[in-house]
Amino acid sequence: MLSFSDISKFIDSWLRDIFNPTWTMVIEMMIAGVCVIGLFAVLGLVLVLMERKVAAWIQIRLGPNRVGPKGMLQSLADTVKLLVKEGMTPDGADKFLFNFAPFIAMMVAMLLMAPIAFAKDFQLWDMNIGVLYFSAISSIMVISILMAGWASNNKYSLMGAMRSGAQIVSYELSAGLSILAIVVLSGSLNLNDIILSQADGWWIFKGHIPVIISFIIFIIAVTAETNRAPFDLAEAESELTAGFHTEYSGMKFALFFLAEYINVFIVCAIGATLFLGGWMPFHIGHWDAFNHVMDYIPSSVWFFGKTFFLIFLIMWFRWTFPRLRIDQLLNLEWRFLLPISMFNILLVTLMAILGWHF
């Protein structure tokens, strides 16, 4: 059966036949880079279109339907428009930081692609601290937002950046704690090991209520971390016009926009990996016949299916909830989510030690 891992192995062996190991590595890295950039562009287009279609569906309208069949080329046309627009830099802005900030957002999103397992045996970098790497890199995102807000020399931008700073730093905690629940249960920081530990059932089913609580907290926390409604206080368009990217235009704005969607994809991919088994098909305990049937569905379909389900969930939040106020946002984290996840991690640990999970 043709799968991503077969293709990658084939390319690898083919390259090894022709070149020496060093060159093989260099060429493979280049291919990976091109693939990541390609995936970036495609994901950006697909997610923007999906967001608009989901929004339209929720808002009883049609959404984009003129450019291409069923409006499918709409986001491509938007990209072309953004590319040819002038990228203005305000006079009072700190020019270097202002222009540099969108690239940091982009780089962070790209780096986060590394540990994700897109399909069985198909991963850019199978590192032994994948979860830690994700937590560490994703918190760099806030730097680009702070940089953009500060360098814009605009009060709205600054307020948006400050809000975002407070928000991301707080929600990082409960996101981390809910990830930790899975690390405790699976006993590994390696994303591949975590997926393999779910071969007899996904953690959300195996882990009883504590894992479901972690999952809910994880979804809330990552929605906040990616600055999406109802936690879009950094943008808060009715309050701060456009928050931290008020002064950005053209491609520099598009990079922020793209980074937001890629971040949504990545956090959903991580969520799917940790709680829903990543590329692991739907398995139930020792029902070998059932499990075997499920294995016929390609692993990449499982991965993308789960990820896009979570993305849909996050989009659903965005289009139905009003925005929180900044003090309510921080109250939610420090008064509710953090204590609950701290207690929850104790429960999970107890469960893991006593072997109460399936």
Partner 1 sequence: MVEEIGTTVEGDVLINVGPQHPATHGVLNLLLTINGETIKKVEPHLGFIHRSIEKMCESLTYRQFIYVTSRMDYLSAHINNHACALVVEKGLQVEIPSRAKVIRVLMDELTRIASHELWWGAMAMDLGAFTPFFHAFRERESINDIMEETCGARLTMNYIVPGGVMYDLHPDFQKRVKDFITLYKLKIHEYDEMVTGNIIFQNRMKGVGYLSAEDAISYGCTGPTARGSGVSCDIRKLYPYEVYDQLDFDEILETGCDSFARYMVRIREMNQSIRIIEQLIDTIPEGDFQAKTKAVLKLPKGEFYQRVETARGEFGVYIVSEGGNTPYRIKFRSPGFSNLSALDQMARGSKLGDLVAMMGTLDLVIPDIDR
The answer to whether 300 contacts partner 1 (rule: CB under 8 A) is no
Of the candidates 99, 139, 241, 249, which one interacts with partner 1 according to CB under 8 A?
Answer: 241
Structure tokens that stand for 270 in this block: 């991580």
Which range binds partner 1 by CB under 8 A, 72-80, 120-128, 142-150, 319-327?
319-327
Q: Does 335 bind partner 1 (CB under 8 A)?
A: no
Does residue 150 belong to the site contacting partner 1 (CB under 8 A)? no
The pattern of x and - marking residues 106 through 145 that bind partner 1 according to CB under 8 A reads ----------------------------------------
User: Which of 260, 253, 263, 245 has its CA nearest to residue 82?
Assistant: 253
Q: Which is nearer to partner 1, 268 or 324 (CB)?
A: 324
Closest CA to 332 of 237, 223, 234: 223
Q: Is residue 322 involved in binding partner 1 (CB under 8 A)?
A: yes
Distance CA 95, CA 113 (A): 29
- The contact mask relative to partner 1 for 169-198 (x = CB under 8 A, - = no) is ------------------------------
Task: Choose which of 23, 285, 328, 335 interacts with partner 1 (CB under 8 A).
Answer: 328
Contacts with partner 1: how many residues (CB under 8 A)? 28
Distance CA(333)–CA(340), nearest Å, equals 10
DSSP letter (8 states) at residue 218: H
DSSP state of 3: -
Q: Which is nearer to partner 1, 137 or 233 (CB)?
A: 233
Q: Which stretch binds partner 1 (CB under 8 A): 79-87, 232-240, 272-280, 288-296?
A: 232-240
Peptide bond into 64 cis (omega under 30): no
Q: DSSP string covering 145-207, please?
A: HHHHHHHTT-HHHHHHHHHHHHHHHHHHHHHHHHHHHHHHHHT-S-HHHHHHTTTTS-HHHHT
d(CA 181, CA 131): 12
Q: Which of 76, 143, 196, 326: binder of partner 1 (CB under 8 A)?
A: 326
| Contact footprint for partner 1 (CB under 8 A) | 55, 58-61, 155-156, 159, 163, 229-230, 232-233, 236-239, 241, 319-328
